[in-house]
Structure 1
Amino acid sequence: MRNRNKTAQLKRTASHRRALLANMACSLIEHGAIRTTLGKAKALRPVAEKMVTLGKKGDLHARRQAVAFLRHKDVVKQLFEVVAPAAADREGGYCRITKLGPRLTDAAPMAIIEFVDRVIEKDEEVVEDTTDDAVEVEAEKVEAKAE
């Protein structure tokens, strides 16, 4: 019987599932949001939230635990310096799952998982004015780059 077994198995062995979740957690920390299947997103959320909790602790032991799971020092550095301070005032619920609908090829339910307190860096070339003049200027920039 499967009574009280909380772990989503995802039809993988334990080592494959651990590697999959570690890689997905690294991608989530690196990019801030990823698009995946709903089942994988639901399995990733507790892992990602535990990583943010380690980042909020900020001590050496927590950093070593994060490196042991994620296996990428640069991602752990980003977790402790960018992601965790953004969620410093939040006591939980660091991730958000948004359902997208079925994937075209196999109709698998898709979702986006992202950090709630995600820091979005804006591009310098974004035109703030949305009038017709700004649209024309933007179109001229696109044409100039194409040539």
Structure 2
Amino acid sequence: MSRHRLNGRKLGRNTNQRKALFKGLLNSLIIQEELKTTQTKAKAVQRLFDQLVTKAKPSTVHARRLLHAFLGNKSSVNKLVDDLTKRFGHRQSGFTRVTKLGLRRGDNAQIVKLELVDKSSPDLKQTQKSTNSPKKPTKKTSKTSTKSSK
């Protein structure tokens, strides 16, 4: 049997287990805006998340009902429609980023962090401000002033 025209990953689970796994991972990704999982699960969830954001963009009652039927979590549906679609309004796709973290000790599986591209958290804003400010332009000017005085 060939693999032509077969899409999706089974992940060693039956259909109901796989749907429940994806539902839990998607709810975690929407609410926490990041998750750590294996690379194959992240790739499967990444595809589904892109489809959900595209469904949520019209921000209609019908879109909310479709999303709630799939996710089953009212707070994640509200966050997806109200908050995330406004952040991703200018993007057509590519709403998530995968960062490799290393190998899991037990089975040597590749562990990755799946996070939203336009992640808005106070920690991120503080780290960006702190990384931009310590370039220390005052010391550079003091070095040039000491050279010019000699």
Asked if the contact 2:36/2:111 (under 8 Å) is kept, the reply is yes
2:74 matches 1:73: yes
Q: Which residue of 2 aligns with 1:54?
A: 55
Instruction: Measure how far apart 1:102 and its partner are.
Output: 0.7
Within a 5 Å distance, the mapping from 1:1-147 to structure 2 comes to 1=1, 2-122=3-123
User: 8 Å contact 2:59–2:82 — kept in the other structure?
Assistant: no
Higher helix residue share: 2
After TM superposition, the runs of 4+ consecutive aligned structure 1 residues lying more than 3 A away are none
Deviation readout 1:42-97 (Å, 9 max, x if unpaired): 11011111111122121111111100010000111111111111101111111111
Under a length normalisation based on structure 1, what TM-score does the superposition of the two structures give? 0.80
User: How many pairs are equivalent?
Assistant: 129
Q: Percent identity?
A: 34
Q: Given the two structures, how large is their TM-score scaled by the length of structure 2?
A: 0.79
Distance 1:70 1:9 in 2: 19
Structure 1 unaligned segments of length 5 or more: list them.
Answer: 131-147
Structure 2: state its 5+ residue gaps. 135-150
For residue 99 of structure 2, give the secondary structure of its aligned residue in structure 1: strand
Tell me by how many angstroms 1:122 deviates: 3.5
Amino acid at match of 2:105: L
